[in-house]
């Protein structure tokens, strides 16, 4: 109780299966006494491109633009654009980050990747000497909840779906010090029966009930590539 959750949601249609998963998470976690904030990226028309518009005021080096350096310098002097400051504040306050999205091309949709690119800047999420277990966002949990187009069997033939999670869970979350819970994957909701979809939604509700008792995964290459 009293935990703060940020759900970063990337789907265009509220009536979609992802929309249903979002609704369940908001309802279930609120019922538990958590305070839940949703960043609905499409509804917010979130800008995914990392550009110089993310820096307010002077540039550190106006001769040659380097996004990483400029956002780091801007973060230190409080010169990041308003939309980034707002998202960083939500992240800062959250105990748990849930990312809800459909898998696109073995990865997250561009709008969500853009959120990662722009929000998790150096100085805020990590520092050169403070990464992985030493990352700046320690004591936070994350969970990737997503839907796929292909069935579980299809993914099994092509290699474990865990491989796809390495860049997202390990390369972004773990890099920033965030602990990672087991992903929640709904395989091919479009291609299954209404009954099966209901079962998937029920499974998500059930999982959320005991979420705070879960242990994070062991963020080692073995988990992904064994």
Interval 70-91: pLDDT, tens: 999 999 999 999 999 999 999 9
pLDDT digits (tens, 9 = 90+) for 89-121: 999 999 999 999 999 999 999 999 999 999 999
Residues 217, 180: contact at Cβ < 8 Å?
yes
For residue 66, the model assigns a pLDDT of: 98
Question: Among candidates 119, 68, 131, which has minimal Cα distance to 94?
Answer: 119
Structure tokens at 187: 């395989």
Burial 24-47, CB ≥16 within 10 A → b, else e? bbbebbeebebebebbbbeeeebb
What gap in Å lies between CA 21 and CA 183, rounded to an integer? 14
Is 80 exceeded by the pLDDT of residue 198? Answer: yes
* Sign of the dihedral through C-alpha 177, 178, 181, 185: negative
Q: Roughly what angle, to the nearest 10 degrees, separates helices 17-31 and 194-209? A: 30
pLDDT band at 1 (very low <50, low <70, confident <90, very high): low
Structure-token match 């509804």, residue found:
43
Question: Among candidates 43, 56, 32, which has minimal Cα distance to 205?
Answer: 32
What would the DSSP string read from start to end of 16-56? SHHHHHHHHHHHHHHHTT-EEEEEEHHHHT------GGGB-
Q: Which CATH architecture has domain 4-225?
A: 3-Layer(aba) Sandwich (3.40)
Return the domain boundaries, the chain. 4-225
Bridge partners (DSSP) of residue 147 are 102, 186
Structure-token match 């879960």, residue found:
214
What gap in Å lies between CA 226 and CA 65, rounded to an integer? 41
pLDDT: which is higher, 47 or 155? 47
């Amino acid at each position: 109780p009293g935990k703060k959750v940020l759900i970063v949601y990337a789907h265009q249609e509220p009536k979609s299966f992802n929309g249903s998963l979002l609704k369940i998470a908001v309802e279930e976690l609120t019922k538990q006494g958590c305070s839940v904030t949703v960043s609905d990226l499409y509804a917010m028309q979130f800008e995914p491109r990392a550009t110089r518009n993310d820096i307010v005021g002077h540039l550190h080096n106006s001769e040659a633009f380097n996004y990483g350096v400029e956002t780091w310098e801007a973060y230190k002097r409080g010169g990041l654009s308003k939309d980034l400051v707002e998202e960083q504040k939500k992240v800062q306050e959250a105990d748990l980050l849930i990312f809800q999205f459909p898998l696109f091309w073995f990865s997250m949709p561009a709008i969500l990747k853009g959120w990662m690119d722009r929000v998790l800047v150096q100085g805020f999420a990590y520092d050169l000497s403070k990464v992985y277990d030493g990352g700046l966002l320690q004591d936070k949990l994350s969970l990737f909840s997503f839907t796929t187009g292909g069935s579980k069997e299809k993914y099994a033939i092509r290699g474990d779906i865990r491989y796809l999670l390495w860049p997202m869970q390990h390369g972004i979350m773990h890099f920033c010090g965030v602990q990672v819970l087991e992903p929640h994957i709904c395989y091919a909701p479009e291609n299954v029966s209404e009954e099966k979809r209901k079962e998937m939604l029920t499974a998500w509700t059930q999982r959320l009930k005991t979420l705070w008792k879960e242990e994070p995964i062991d963020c080692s290459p073995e988990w992904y590539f064994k």
